[in-house]
Amino acid sequence: MASVQLYVYDLSQGMARQLSMGLTGRQIDGIWHTSVVAFDMEVFFGQGIHITAPGQSHHGTPVEKVDMGETFIPQEVFLDADKYHLLDNNCNTFTNDVCQFLTGRTIPAHITGLPSEFMNTVLGQSLRPMIDSMFMPQNIPDRTASQLSAAPAPVQNRVAPHTGNTGSTLQYPSTSSSLDQLIANNKAVAVMFTSATCPPCRVIAPEYESMIADISSGDHKVVGAKVDVGTAMGIGQSYNVRVTPTFMFFHDGRKLSEFKGADRRQLQSEIEFLVYTAYPPHPHLRQTHLRLIAELPTKPILFAKHGDLIRITGKVKDLLAKNPEAAKIIEDTHGILVSEDQTSTSTPHASHLAILARWSAILDEALSSVPSTDQFPILDLVRLVLLRPSGYTYYGQHPDKLLAFFSAAAETDMSKPSVLMTLRIAANIFANPSLQSRFITAEHSSERSVMTSLVVKYLLSSDGQIRQTASSIAYNMATWVAQGRRRSGTSHVEDEDWQVELVSAVIGALGQEQEAEVVHRLVSTLCHFIYLSPIDPPSPLPELVQVLGLHGILDDKVKALSSQEQDRCLKLSRELQRLIE
């Protein structure tokens, strides 16, 4: 970031102020020459572009220094300005273009308007040769435009980089009717009016194209257009374009905003405002009182702790003692648990998958022969294996192995230890996205139906520990929905029927629940399901929870909890009540 100043000189050295009224019949305070000072350089136009140290040009001491603001444009400025002339396209036109390019601001109008005003006088016509010679000396010890053009890199490669998509998605309308139609037929349109002889246009154009491409690659479509007013003069006249670059932004066929100049920050801001207007963020995101809900973790609840692995595998060996191959395979499985880090994302070794294939075959046999009351250690080993890369990879390839556990628990009565361990296995499938997708996405509806039945059944268990574990699975399902909405926005595919079924079950369970920890998990589950739910078309969930009396249920739950427990649930429950209102 660098400051930008406008140095103003009087080429008449005060003579215009003294003599103009008597000679011309009008007061002219000075014959203004201007230069731009930035990056510790003074840049001005005169027989080409010149650069000197600030205040060291042949024009003497400036009569005024105007602060033009700050720029984020990089130091190297490439300007093709060899067609300027002092009293037509002059030094002030040049500095005006440069200031617009650097800061988006124009220089004072009394300076830019002076040359044509002065040339309308007899004195101006007579003094033109003298002024030309004063302004265009032949020997100036500084850098010229030709030296500038030999800089290490052209300006379009030195602009502060835009790191996003660089592919172009622009339209190039050539008539007013084609641009009119483009604006009328699209929700959000950005138009850049440019010209071939506009150096700032060449600098800002790549940034504009990149920003449009970035936005268009996401959920929010913004149509970008570029119009060369030099070749499509009718469009420039129709849209009242007087300078280039000019940017205009349209929403639903109406002009939203406009600005002139090559200010990258303003361009970014205007495009973001266009997107915000055309695609307003979800209303929940604008509600600052939903802080706790917005900050709820979206990581699943996993059951990763374990006791003595040797003791666990020893119990499994005892249960499978009749199978002579079991001991070796159980030892190998123990080796996988020890050697693989559950936080690793590396590809498992093929030998480990082979071990688990043999382990699974023995497991099938064991579960059919070992009484359900004694299956706890076997299921505990499966729970731990699922958290290792080999485990979730193997069961991702063979989900039917896990589905058998879940179906048995959902359809039959099992001992508490076996139910608990089966529910913990179900919770641990959320440790890996690929594995969880096999049990929760609409493409695998039969597997998801079993998982949902498992949760619904045990949310109403008479055992508090079982209800707490079942509520953990419900919470994990809700985090999967929340992650999808936050990651994909409006493109996230919602399965409303399944959500309605699960939310109804959670509210029913919440109405009966007395334990604070389970209440908190169920309330958190509902928060994830309802927060950022679709509004176009609207999700049925907000209306559903009102019909089911969630507001009153939350009041009853908070009142029933002890003062210490209330502090944890009260604020979250109040936010949920405001959310559904």
- How confident is the prediction for the chain on average, in pLDDT? 82
* Residue 177, number of CB atoms within 10 A of its CB: 12
Which position among 50, 59, 91, 201 bears the catalytic label?
91
Which residues, listed in sequence order, are joined to residue 65 by a DSSP beta bridge? 7
Q: Is the pLDDT confidence value at 146 over 50?
A: no
pLDDT digit string, tens, across residues 388-439: 999 999 999 999 999 999 999 999 999 999 999 999 999 999 999 989 999 9
pLDDT at residue number 74 = 62
pLDDT at residue number 493 = 74
Q: Are residues 413 and 322 in the same domain?
A: yes
| Domain span holding position 407 | 297-451
Q: Are residues 15 and 40 in the same domain?
A: yes
pLDDT digit string, tens, across residues 277-317: 888 778 887 777 888 898 899 999 999 988 888 998 999 99
Q: Are residues 303 and 446 in the same domain?
A: yes
Query: Cα 200 to chain center, whole Å?
Result: 29
Helix (H, G, I), strand (E, B) or coil at 581: coil
Return the percentage of the chain with pLDDT > 70, whole number: 81
Q: Is the pLDDT confidence value at 101 over 50?
A: yes
Q: Is the pLDDT confidence value at 330 over 80?
A: yes
Q: Are residues 54 and 140 in the same domain?
A: yes
Q: What does the alpha-carbon distance between residue 404 and residue 393 come to, in Å, rounded to a whole number?
A: 17
- pTM > 0.85: yes or no: no
pLDDT digit string, tens, across residues 431-490: 999 899 999 999 999 999 999 999 999 999 999 999 999 999 999 999 999 998 887 665
Q: What does the alpha-carbon distance between residue 435 and residue 560 come to, in Å, rounded to a whole number?
A: 39
pLDDT at residue number 156 = 31
Angle between helices 350-369 and 389-397 (to 10 degrees): 70
CATH of the domain at 334: 1.25.10.10
Q: Is 91 labeled as catalytic in the residue annotation?
A: yes
Mean pLDDT of 341-354: 80
Q: Are residues 120 and 51 in the same domain?
A: yes
Q: Are residues 315 and 441 in the same domain?
A: yes
pLDDT at residue number 88 = 41
Q: Are residues 410 and 268 in the same domain?
A: no
Q: Which of 423, 451, 479 corresponds to the end of one domain?
A: 451
Angle between helices 199-216 and 264-278 (to 10 degrees): 30
Q: Is the pLDDT confidence value at 136 over 70?
A: no
pLDDT at residue number 125 = 54
Total domains present in the chain:
3
Tokens of 212: 């449009």
Q: Do the Cβ atoms of 66 and 92 come closer than 8 Å?
A: no
Q: Is the pLDDT confidence value at 508 over 70?
A: yes
- Nearest to 431, CA basis, from 499, 323, 340, 365: 340
Q: Are residues 31 and 143 in the same domain?
A: yes
pLDDT at residue number 309 = 87
Range name among 80-89, 214-223, 549-558 with the lowest pLDDT average:
80-89
CATH of the domain at 249: 3.40.30.10
pLDDT at residue number 127 = 53
Q: What does the alpha-carbon distance between residue 526 and residue 537 come to, in Å, rounded to a whole number?
A: 20
